[in-house]
Amino acid sequence: VDASNMLKPALSRGELQCIGATTLEEYRKYIEKNGALERRFQPIIVNPPTVEETIEIIRGLKVPYEVHHKAKITDEAIILAVRFADRYINDRFLPDKAIDVIDEAGSRVRLRKASQSPEMKKVQREIDSLVREKKIRIENQEFEKAVELRDKEEELRSKLELAKEKWEQENSLSEPSITEEDIAAVVSSMTGIPLNRIEEKESTRLLNMAEELGKKIVGQKEAVEAISKAIRRSRSGLKDMRRPIGTFMFLGPTGVGKTELAGALAEFLFGHRDALIRLDMSEYMEKFNISRLTGAPPGYVGYEEGGQLTEKVRRKPYSVVLFDEIEKANPDVFHLLLQIMDDGHLTDSYGRNINFKNTVIILTSNISSKALDKGSLGFHKDDVDLSFDKMEKDLKQDLKKEFNPEFLNRLTDMIVFRPLTLEDVTQILDIQLNVLNEQMIQQGLTLDMTDEAKRWLAEKGYDKNFGARPLKRAIQRHLEDFLSDEMLKGRFKSGGVIEVGLADDSLVFTEKSGALNTVP
- Digitized pLDDT (tens) for each residue of the chain, 520 residues in all: 577 888 888 888 888 888 888 888 888 888 888 888 888 888 888 888 998 999 999 999 989 988 888 888 888 889 989 988 888 887 788 889 999 999 999 988 888 776 666 777 788 888 888 888 888 888 887 888 888 888 888 888 888 888 777 777 766 656 788 888 888 888 888 877 765 555 556 667 778 888 888 888 888 887 888 888 877 877 666 666 778 888 888 887 788 888 888 888 888 887 778 888 998 888 888 888 888 888 887 777 777 777 888 888 888 888 889 998 888 888 888 888 888 888 888 888 888 888 888 888 999 887 655 555 544 444 444 454 456 677 777 777 777 877 888 888 888 888 888 778 888 888 888 888 888 888 888 888 888 888 888 888 888 888 877 878 888 888 888 888 888 888 888 777 777 788 888 888 888 888 764 444 444 4
How many degrees, rounded to 5, is the angle at CA 312 between CA 293 and CA 323?
Answer: 55
pLDDT the model gives residue 384 = 43
The radius of gyration of the chain from alpha carbons, rounded to an integer in Å, stands at 32
Q: How many CB atoms lie within 10 A of CB 380?
A: 10
Torsion on CA atoms 338, 341, 342, 348, rounded to nearest 10 = 70
111, 197, 211, 356, 399 from 415: Cα distances, Å: 50, 26, 18, 21, 12
- Given CATH 1.10.8.60, say whether it is the number of domain 422-519: yes
Q: Which fold has domain 50-196?
A: Helicase, Ruva Protein; domain 3 (1.10.8)
Work out the burial of residue 159: count CB atoms within 10 Å of its CB; fewer than 13 is exposed, 13-18 middle, 19 or more buried: middle
Distance CA 398, CA 365 (A): 12
Q: Are 90 and 110 in contact (CB under 8 A)?
A: no
Q: In this structure, what DSSP letter does residue 72 have?
A: E
In this predicted structure, what is the pLDDT of residue 233?
Answer: 77
What is the per-residue pLDDT for 24?
Answer: 83
Same CATH fold assignment for domains 50-196 and 422-519: yes
Closest CA to 178 of 89, 52, 70: 70
Instruction: Output the DSSP codes for 331-392.
Output: TTHHHHHHHHHHHSEEE-TTS-EEE-TTEEEEEEE-HHHHHHHHTTTSS-TT-TT--HHHHH
Q: Where are the beta strands (DSSP E) in 172-255?
A: 177-178, 246-251
**Structure pTM?**
0.69
What DSSP string describes 94-136?
TTHHHHHHHHHHHHHHHHHHHSPPHHHHHHHHHHHHHHHHHHH
Question: With left for phi above 0 and alpha for psi between -120 and 50, is residue 219 left, alpha or beta?
Answer: left
309 vs 290: CA distance, rounded Å: 10
Query: To 10 degrees, the CA torsion angle through 233, 237, 239, 240?
Result: 160
pLDDT given for residue 101 in this prediction: 92
Give the model's pLDDT for residue 172: 63
Domain ranges of the chain: 3-39, 50-196, 201-364+403-416, 422-519
Q: How far apart are CA 500 and CA 507, in angstroms?
A: 6
Kind of pairing between the strands at 359-365 and 319-324 = parallel
Q: Considering the domain 201-364+403-416 in this protein, what is its CATH number?
A: 3.40.50.300
CB of 326 within 8 A of CB of 363?
Answer: yes
The rounded distance, in Å, linking the Cα atoms of 13 and 7 is 10
